[in-house]
Amino acid sequence: MGILVKDLNFTYPGAKQEVVKGINFEVERGEIFSLLGPSGAGKSTVQKILFGLLKGYSGTVRVLGRDMSRSKPDFYEKIGVAYEVPNLYERFTALENLRFFASLYAGLTRDPHDLLERVGLEDAANTRVGAFSKGMKVRLNFIRAILHDPEIVFLDEPTSGLDPSSTRRLKDILLEEKQKGKTIFLSTHDMFAAEAISDRVAFMVYGFIKLVDSPRNLKIEWGEKKVRVECRLKKDLLSQEFPVEGIGENPAFLSLIRENPVETIHTQEATLEDIFIRLTGRELK
């Protein structure tokens, strides 16, 4: 088991209201799991508990088999964390940053040059981070988090500030990590990022987890079971919807696609954002 959270409640010292209200979830080893929710939902608090930074919770939290209420500093040899706002020495070069952070770990660390190349920063290895763009900092911060080959990688808003090609590279690296059996825990309000890569997502709002499932199941379950066909009729675009059930024997559907040039055919799945709004009454942003 990668992560086990059972009946977790948390109230900040001195605060009256609970910020985490009886949540439950499990993350298997080798799974990519996303905690989706708007800011203020309690995602950061859950992460801090998973990192062993907040101890005064009630319930059970185990990460890599360790009880997080009594975690020891050597736990950090096993996890890698990339926060949304990069944690980097601005006046050190990219390489100096990676070498320093690598020196904090007892075990072997990956070759910083290889990692820099993976995220397209090889030419910036000897440039000070202060001169980096936001996206470059995010990429460097990401490889800093996987430098020591951690068992679990925690990423907070991983695509924030990244362009589409960098996002794709990041996704490829994460899928590779998953192949190696590593667990990935994402925390985000970006449902595209979550949908594209996650094995399962959890919807969190107002301190509760409303649901945990795979994006595919959610989209099928919550989507309308219809097929939309768009055909070109001279200059007009004809758009028609048909029930998915019995589509192969539906005469209207069959004659439409037989007699007209089809431009698109799509099943009408719901997006995660639609489902989130319908379930929680809140938008993700």
Helix axes 134-146, 94-102, angle to 10 degrees: 20
Does position 225 bind other proteins by CB under 8 A? no
CA contacts within 13 A on the Cβ side of 1: 11
Q: Which two tokens stand for residue 23?
A: 């949540």
Distance of closest approach, residue 195 Cβ to other proteins, in angstroms: 27
Nearest to 32 by CA among 182, 190, 226: 182
Query: Residue 32 forms beta bridges with which residues?
Result: 184
Q: Is 151 in the site for other proteins (CB under 8 A)?
A: no
Question: Which position among 10, 33, 57, 101 is part of the footprint of other proteins (CB under 8 A)?
Answer: 101
# binding residues, other proteins (CB under 8 A): 27
Q: How far is CA 16 from CA 10, 65, 248, in A?
A: 11, 31, 59
CA pair distance 208, 224, nearest whole angstrom: 26
Cα dist from 133 to 129, 157, 223, whole Å: 9, 17, 39
Figure out which of the listed residues 9, 59, 83, 247 binds other proteins, where binding follows CB under 8 A. Answer: 83
The piece of 93-101, 199-207, 234-242, 274-282 that touches other proteins (CB under 8 A) is: 93-101
Is beta strand 236-243 parallel, antiparallel or unpaired with respect to 226-233?
Answer: antiparallel
| Residue whose entry in the numeric block shows the structure tokens 């605060």 | 15
Name the segment binding other proteins (CB under 8 A); options: 31-39, 88-96, 185-193, 238-246.
88-96
CB of 104 to other proteins, least distance (A): 5
Q: Using CA atoms, how far apart are residues 277 and 206, in angstroms rounded to an integer?
A: 13
Structural contact between residues 79 and 51, judged by C-beta atoms closer than 8 angstroms: yes
Asked if residue 143 binds other proteins (CB under 8 A), the reply is: no
For residue 239, the minimal CB distance to other proteins (Å) is 49
Q: Which stretch binds other proteins (CB under 8 A): 29-37, 47-55, 246-254, 272-280?
A: 47-55
Query: Quick check: 146 and 80 in contact, CB under 8 A?
Result: yes
Q: Enumerate residues 245-284 that contact other proteins by CB under 8 A.
A: none
Query: Whole-angstrom Cα distance, residue 272 to residue 212?
Result: 12
- By CB under 8 A, residue 133 contacts other proteins: no
Which strand (E) or helix (H) includes residue 139?
helix 134-146
| Choice between 115 and 191, CB closer to other proteins | 115
Q: Which is nearer to other proteins, 48 or 169 (CB)?
A: 48
Question: From the list 105, 135, 208, 247, which residue makes contact with other proteins (rule: CB under 8 A)?
Answer: 105
Cα separation, 99 vs 159, in Å, equals: 24
Chain positions 6 to 25 lying near other proteins, rule: CB under 8 A, are 13
Nearest residue (CB) to other proteins, 84 versus 213: 84
92 near other proteins, judged by CB under 8 A: yes
184 counts as binding other proteins under rule CB under 8 A: no
Give the binding site for other proteins (CB under 8 A): 13, 48, 51, 53-54, 73-74, 76-77, 79, 81, 83, 85-92, 96, 100-101, 103-106
